[in-house]
Amino acid sequence: MKQVFFGARLFNGTDFIDDHALITDGATIIGIVPSAERPHGLIEHDLGGGILSPGFIDAQINGGGGVLLNETPSVKGISQILEAHRQWGTTHALPTLITDANDVLIETLAAGKMASGFVPGYLGLHIEGPFIDSIRAGAHPQQHIRIMTDADIERLEQGQSGVLMVTLAPNKVSKKLIQRLVKAGIIVSLGHSEATDSEAFNAIDAGASAVTHLYNAMSPLSHRSPGLVGATLADTRVITGLIADGHHVSPTAIRVALAAKGPAGIALVSDAMPPAAGGPDTFALQGRTATRHGTKLTLPDGTLAGSAITLLDALHYLVGNLKVELKVALQMATSTPAKMLRIDQKYGHLAKGYSSSLVHLTDDLRVSSIWIDGLSYH
């Protein structure tokens, strides 16, 4: 089924293209041509202004619409989370399991395998912990944090379903084990760690290629002890996730990160919990009550407990509050996360041969329509 989309600015993953039309055939983009030269006789979508962009890609999405993956580690839970975020422009994501009991991890990996190729927008899983540093646990439950073993790696290797990202602390997992994960095709992300910059660089040398929610739950940057933040900002080999919600990272710190790494080195992540994407104000997080205060989520002791945002909210925050250029913010929600997840040959760009997974934004950056692999979902 061939379709032609016109009447909107095209964002191709890095820049805008004006006065052009996008042509798709089923799940694939087959061309971009000047609007005046667009073919006729196809299914036409006159978008009437706004921006047509690749769908947003979220590499860290714990929950949404009232559902938490840890509490619902099933195909149904995965589907509900992705469906909740889809209406806000996120066409693809990694449902994320935070540190939990081993049986929950096993159940989640099994659910991920069943969801692969079945749930629209499902890319794979992000396993955030339990192989982290208890000093930088954040909202992760201390009782489940542990050292990675060979058996854990075997379980992760066998549990792969599409993309598999694992967040670990580089000061708690050996270089040898990191190399083994990387060899298996698992994306190693560094986070929840008191690591020194040297420990972080050793992990990057071993093949770690990502960093989990920059600045949060990690050793900070100082001029004599750069820590994991310093290593992340200095090393072009890693792409870092960033939570832009006005609570996790200050405006100045976001500007520092952009100055150091640029939009090609920073992927927006929501770190969303059940209140995001239309969920309730409170939820149970492994026996503790987390509450939304405005756009901020906290545990009773004040610890941040993930976020209540979608990637669209992050886009609004960057453009509206920080005055970040729109194409920069869009890149951080599309082509950069695609590169971080190693799916940038199929997703994150508008170009021939890429997936026809699209979001149409109005001029004031509201979601108008969504397509995943050519099928309309909004």
Q: List the catalytic residues.
A: 271
- Rounded to 10°, the helix 227-234/197-205 angle is 50
In degrees, rounded to 5, the angle at the alpha carbon of residue 342 between the alpha carbons of residues 208 and 129 is 45
Classify residue 176 as exposed, middle or buried by CB count within 10 Å of its CB (0-12, 13-18, 19+): exposed
**Phi then psi dihedrals of residue 189, to 5 deg:** -115, 135
Element (H, E) at 42: none
Query: How far from chain centre, in Å, is Cα 17?
Result: 25
Residues paired with residue 163 on neighbouring β-strands, in sequence order? 124
Cβ(178)–Cβ(203) under 8 Å?
yes
CA distance 252 to 188: 28
**Phi then psi dihedrals of residue 82, to 5 deg:** -65, -40
Cβ(228)–Cβ(195) under 8 Å?
yes
Measured between alpha carbons, how far is residue 19 from residues 11, 136, 361 in Å? Answer: 12, 49, 16
The closest alpha carbon to 10, from 367, 360, 378, belongs to 360
Listed in sequence order, the residues at least 6 apart from 276 whose beta carbon sits closer than 8 Å to its beta carbon are 63, 64, 65, 84, 85, 270, 307, 308, 309, 310
Element (H, E) at 109: helix 102-115
Tokens of 324: 């970040």
